[in-house]
Chains A and B, each alone.
Chain A
Amino acid sequence: MVGRRCYAVVVGVALTVLLAGCVGPTVTDAGYRNKVGDTARQISSSIASARLAVQLDLDGRMAFALTDQTVSDAESDADSAATALASRQPPTDSALKLYQRASRPIQDAVDALRALRIAVRRGDSAAIRAALAGLDAPQHGMDDLRTAASGG
């Protein structure tokens, strides 16, 4: 009896963990807007993280391995967020329009982070500064996207 209870508890916990990690479908316009807003927030955070690490590195306050790791993580996170959004089916025409509006700035942000990662690994200060400046436009793009997703 107790063995069965233990088994049920273990299975319950495992299912909880698995289900909590699942991505549910987005079936409403509002749900899709929230998802786009979340994606913009995640990518915006990735840009901010990479920018902070690289700026500290340029100021001589970082270790190279940590800078490289932070920038690589930022690129990877932004790429994952972009892929996750692209994998969702826009449920309405207005959601589709929002996706079409979002896809270009999101891709630009991922590309800008990739350029920064390449520059950091090459150790080319001029290229790093240029790539850092290249994050400004994608950052603004993500801010605009968050405003658009929130209906502003």
Chain B
Amino acid sequence: MSRLFKMALGVMTAIGGFVDIGNLVTSGITGARFGMALTWAIVLGTMGMTLYGEMAGRVAAVARRPVFHIVRERLGVRTGMANLAAFLLLSGLMLAAELGGVALVLQLVTGVNYLVWVPVAAAVTWLIVWRVSFSVMENLFGLLGLCLVVFVVALFVLPTDWGALWHGATHPWVPPDQGHPMYFFYAVSLFGACLTPFQVVFFSSGGREEHWTTKSLPEMRLNALVGFPLGGLLSIAIMAAAVVVLKPAGVDVSHLGQVALPVAQALGPVGLALALVGFMAAVMAAAAECALSMGYAVAQYLGWGWGKDRLPRDAPRFHLVCLVAVLGATALVLTSVDPVTVTVLSVVLGAAALPLTYFPVLVVANDGDYMGSHVNGRTLNALASVFLVIMVVTSIVTVPLLFFTKAGR
């Protein structure tokens, strides 16, 4: 019973933990602008995250190696360093976006300007990183993140034309007023939001934090194979709610608060409150995970001691990197740069760097010396290779699309 409960809890936290500021913003923007025509990008991104998340989790459990340990081993010290620099840069941007997201949610609740809340968001994030145990952080925020299910409920309350939504999702087309570059720019943003590198680094390092072994594989697989796809469904629900309410009204999403309007229309203040709790849990958890991932990456690459549950005196350099990451991201948000713009940029630039993180995972998952009988099978390798090609193509087209569309404007 206890094992069953643990597994159910793991799946629920994976669902709630899948969504972050990137998913909230990009799903809202694309639903309002393109209808359901970009659903395929979420489906593709979620499939990629599920596939590579399972692989990274398996490597962490069997070979007992988290992602940046593998990066250094497989890519060598120098290339690994370039990889680490890119990861830190992009995760720093994402952390700024998440902190900005926390501050924006507090602004929506209190009416006080978000810049006032940025230092508060940073302090709370740092306290979570420093003082809250790994399991409490994961379970508490994962479960609160499930409040985002109100978007699914809202779809049933609203006068949703399910046939039209299904048709839009299964017959993607490019709206003539948007054009192909804009369409593919936002496809990349949705794809990148589902495959954020920090999430796989966190998932894999979390496996080591929780001392996964081969006995943990069923639980890990359940989290990845059930939790992540259901998290992807939440992203689709947010998009669909925007399609039903915002698109017909002619609202282009450019602020986080607009994403919540469909829930307010469907469920009133109670639904709105739940949506805001879900927003807060999703972005706060992601902020802490992102800061931790930066600490994990540096510590794993340089061979320092690391671990969330290790006291700062036992792993001082790991905790210092997390602190510096939070401070740097806070300074960036305090320049008053628009957090929504930072979010879009971070998921798109993150998409450009996807192969750097995911390629080494694929290599080690195929290494019999490390993985023994848990090495990738042929079907899995074929699928993973297809996704790797998609990631490489995505990374090639991202920068030109960024220019052509003026970052999606």
Residues of A that sit less than 8 Å from B by CB: 2, 5-6, 9-10, 13, 16-17, 19-21, 41-42, 44-45, 48-49, 51-53, 56, 60-66, 68-70, 73, 77
Q: Please report which residues of chain B, range 70-124, place their CB below 8 angstroms from some CB of chain A when the two chains form the complex.
A: 78-79, 81-82, 85-86, 89, 107-111
Contact of B79 among A2, A16, A56 (CB under 8 A): A2
Q: B166 at the A/B interface (Cβ < 8 Å)?
A: no
CB-defined contacts of B81 to chain A, threshold 8 Å:
2, 6
Asked whether A49 lies within 8 Å of B268 as measured between CB atoms, the reply is: no
Measured in the bound complex, the distance between the Cα atoms of B231 and A145 in whole Å is: 41
Residue among A63, A64, A73, A77 with max Cβ neighbours from chain B (10 Å): A63
Asked whether B264 lies within 8 Å of A10 as measured between CB atoms, the reply is: no
Asked whether A52 lies within 8 Å of B251 as measured between CB atoms, the reply is: yes
Measured in the bound complex, the distance between the Cα atoms of B85 and A115 in whole Å is: 49
We find that the number of chain B residues with CB closer than 8 angstroms to chain A is 38
Shortest distance between the CB of B108 and any CB in chain A (Å): 5
Shortest distance between the CB of A41 and any CB in chain B (Å): 8
Asked whether A10 lies within 8 Å of B85 as measured between CB atoms, the reply is: yes
Q: B265 at the A/B interface (Cβ < 8 Å)?
A: yes
Asked whether B402 lies within 8 Å of A64 as measured between CB atoms, the reply is: no
Shortest distance between the CB of B395 and any CB in chain A (Å): 12
Asked whether B89 lies within 8 Å of A65 as measured between CB atoms, the reply is: no
Asked whether A61 lies within 8 Å of B82 as measured between CB atoms, the reply is: no
CB-defined contacts of A19 to chain B, threshold 8 Å:
403
Shortest distance between the CB of B227 and any CB in chain A (Å): 30
Contact of A16 among B111, B260, B264, B402 (CB under 8 A): B402
Measured in the bound complex, the distance between the Cα atoms of B107 and A75 in whole Å is: 17
Asked whether A17 lies within 8 Å of B345 as measured between CB atoms, the reply is: yes
Closest to A37 in B: B177
Beyond contacts A2-B78, A44-B250: 14 other A-B pairs, Cβ-Cβ < 8 A, are: A2-B82, A9-B85, A21-B406, A45-B251, A45-B254, A49-B249, A49-B251, A62-B272, A63-B272, A68-B111, A69-B257, A70-B255, A73-B255, A73-B257
Residue among A19, A61, A62 with max Cβ neighbours from chain B (10 Å): A61
Asked whether B407 lies within 8 Å of A20 as measured between CB atoms, the reply is: yes
Q: Chain B 228-260, CB within 8 Å of chain A: the 1/0 string?
A: 000000000000000001100111101101101
Contact of B403 among A20, A61, A73 (CB under 8 A): A20
Q: B222 at the A/B interface (Cβ < 8 Å)?
A: no
Contact of B268 among A6, A61, A68 (CB under 8 A): A61
CB-defined contacts of A69 to chain B, threshold 8 Å:
107-108, 111, 255, 257
Asked whether B89 lies within 8 Å of A52 as measured between CB atoms, the reply is: no
Closest to B252 in A: A45
Q: B165 at the A/B interface (Cβ < 8 Å)?
A: no
Q: Please report which residues of chain B, range 49-87, place their CB below 8 angstroms from some CB of chain A when the two chains form the complex.
A: 78-79, 81-82, 85-86
Q: B327 at the A/B interface (Cβ < 8 Å)?
A: no
Measured in the bound complex, the distance between the Cα atoms of B179 and A105 in whole Å is: 27
Asked whether B89 lies within 8 Å of A66 as measured between CB atoms, the reply is: no
* 25 A-B residue pairs with CB within 8 Å: A6-B81, A6-B85, A9-B86, A10-B85, A13-B89, A13-B349, A16-B402, A20-B407, A21-B341, A21-B406, A41-B252, A45-B251, A45-B254, A48-B249, A49-B249, A49-B252, A49-B261, A56-B264, A56-B265, A61-B264, A61-B272, A62-B269, A63-B109, A66-B257, A68-B111
